[in-house]
């Protein structure tokens, strides 16, 4: 159940938090738009991070192009001066690549840490204004889960989102360069992309269910932890240690099984991506590229560059598949955090006054 207030995006009804229902998506536009509003005070840092990220991605995709010219334009023609030029250009590109990579890490971290600072402060201030009725109805474990684990989840994922953007820009640049150098070879090398898309669509159907199961299980485990620790005196006075331990084992077993199920799905996808990389290099670069090389319509440097590009083309896809679960957990964490910030402090007080009256 979500909030009934028209101007509250995530506020839960009856001022209670609903950990089990907030499961998240891989991309949640409401969370992203809401989260983006926190970037405005630090737009200078964000623009520097974005600019350095784009430079890093462009040079990352352009290095195989320089290797191609080094082989075909310099080494193959036996021009020593050209080899020196390529070597000097490679050193300059390496330095720019290093500096842009360093700048993006620094300013992405700086932007992210300031945003998380504002979120933590806002949540702390907002929770102080909640009524006693809210805390009577809401397990403290759920509140602490949002204050600690969900903020930590966003912290770990913020940099991943920026790096994912860099990977996507790199993929776009690689496609443009491949088509520009040799469009026929490029199309053959990318023939496995539709197959990968179908696999991803099919895989996500099962993976989403698995990650939803993890989200529910960890919420129950955290709640059980807090409930037993804060009420340990009552538990000991009633001699309920064995019953509570058995109940916790059931919850913990569900969490274990959910993680094992997610690991099985992730373990299936990763080898499939590796297989497609091998097919792309084998069919495109080795077979078709070798055929063009024999006909004299392709240079050796182009073949080498395409081998690098295919590897780099699938590397972002491999990274994004590995980050799928973390992105989904981050969106769930964002929903849960904004759900807290949208709680109406006056709701519980009004309800309590009506009950007293």
What are the pLDDT digits (tens) for 110-134?
A: 888 888 888 888 888 877 887 777 7
Coil, helix or strand for 20? Answer: helix
- Domain for residue 9, yes or no? no
Which range of residues forms the domain containing residue 274? 17-121+131-351
- Domain for residue 299, yes or no? yes
Contact criterion met (CB below 8 Å) for 68 and 90: no
DSSP string for 62-100: HHHHHHHHIIIIIITTT-HHHHHHHHHHHHHHHHHHHHH
Contact criterion met (CB below 8 Å) for 155 and 148: no
Domains: count for the chain? 1
- Domain for residue 10, yes or no? no
Give the mean pLDDT of 346-356: 49
Question: Which is it for the CA torsion 223, 225, 228, 230, positive or negative?
Answer: negative
What CATH code is carried by the domain that includes residue 28? 1.20.1560.10
- Domain for residue 7, yes or no? no
Q: What distance in Å separates the CA atoms of residue 329 and residue 255, rounded to the nearest whole number?
A: 15
Encode 338-355 in three state secondary structure.
HHHHCCCHHHHHHHHHHH
What would the pLDDT profile of 4-20 be if each residue is shown by its tens digit? 333 444 544 444 555 54
Instruction: Give pTM, 2 decimals.
Output: 0.67
Coil, helix or strand for 177? Answer: helix
- Domain for residue 284, yes or no? yes
pLDDT of 304 > 60? The answer is yes
Q: For the chain, give the number of residues.
A: 357
- Domain for residue 269, yes or no? yes
Name the band, by pLDDT with cuts 50, 70 and 90, for residue 325.
low
The residues, ordered by sequence, that sit 6+ positions from 45 with a Cβ below 8 Å of its Cβ are 107, 110, 111, 114
The pLDDT, as a whole number, for residue 282 is 76
Q: What distance in Å separates the CA atoms of residue 140 and residue 40, rounded to the nearest whole number?
A: 32
Q: What distance in Å separates the CA atoms of residue 104 and residue 235, rounded to the nearest whole number?
A: 51
- Domain for residue 2, yes or no? no
Measured in whole angstroms, the distance separating CA 61 from the mean position of its chain's CA atoms is 21
Give the mean pLDDT of 224-244: 78
- Domain for residue 11, yes or no? no
């Amino acid at each position: 159940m979500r909030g009934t207030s028209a101007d509250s995006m995530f506020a839960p009804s009856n001022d209670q938090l609903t950990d089990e229902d907030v499961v998240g998506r891989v991309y949640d536009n409401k969370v992203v738009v809401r989260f983006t509003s926190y970037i405005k005070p630090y737009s200078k840092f964000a623009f520097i991070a974005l600019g350095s990220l784009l430079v890093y991605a462009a040079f990352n995709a352009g290095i195989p192009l320089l290797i191609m010219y080094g082989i075909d334009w310099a080494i193959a023609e036996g021009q020593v001066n050209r080899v020196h030029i390529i070597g000097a250009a490679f050193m300059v590109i390496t330095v720019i690549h290093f500096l842009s990579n360093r700048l993006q890490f620094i300013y992405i971290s700086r932007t992210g840490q300031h945003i998380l600072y504002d979120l933590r402060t806002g949540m702390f201030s907002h929770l102080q204004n909640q009524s006693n009725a809210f805390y009577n109805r809401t397990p403290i474990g759920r509140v602490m889960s949002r204050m600690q684990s969900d903020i930590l989840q966003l912290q770990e994922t913020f940099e991943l989102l920026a790096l994912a953007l860099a990977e996507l820009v790199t993929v776009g640049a690689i496609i443009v360069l491949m088509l520009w150098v040799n469009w026929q070879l490029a199309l053959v090398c990318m023939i496995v992309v539709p197959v990968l898309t179908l696999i991803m669509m099919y895989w996500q159907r099962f993976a989403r269910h698995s990650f939803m199961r993890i989200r529910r299980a960890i919420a129950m485990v955290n709640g059980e932890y807090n409930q037993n620790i804060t009420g340990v005196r009552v538990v000991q006075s009633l001699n309920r240690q064995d019953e509570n331990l058995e109940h916790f084992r059931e919850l913990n077993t569900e969490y274990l099984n959910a993680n094992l199920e997610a690991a099985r799905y992730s373990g299936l996808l990763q080898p499939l991506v590796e297989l497609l990389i091998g097919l792309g290099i084998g069919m495109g670069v080795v077979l078709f590229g070798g055929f063009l090389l024999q006909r004299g319509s392709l240079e050796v440097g182009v073949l080498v560059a395409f081998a690098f590009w295919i590897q780099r083309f699938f590397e972002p896809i491999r990274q994004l598949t590995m980050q799928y679960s973390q992105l989904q957990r981050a969106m769930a964490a964002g929903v849960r955090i904004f759900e807290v910030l949208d709680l109406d402090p006056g709701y519980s007080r009004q309800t309590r006054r009506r009950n007293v009256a």
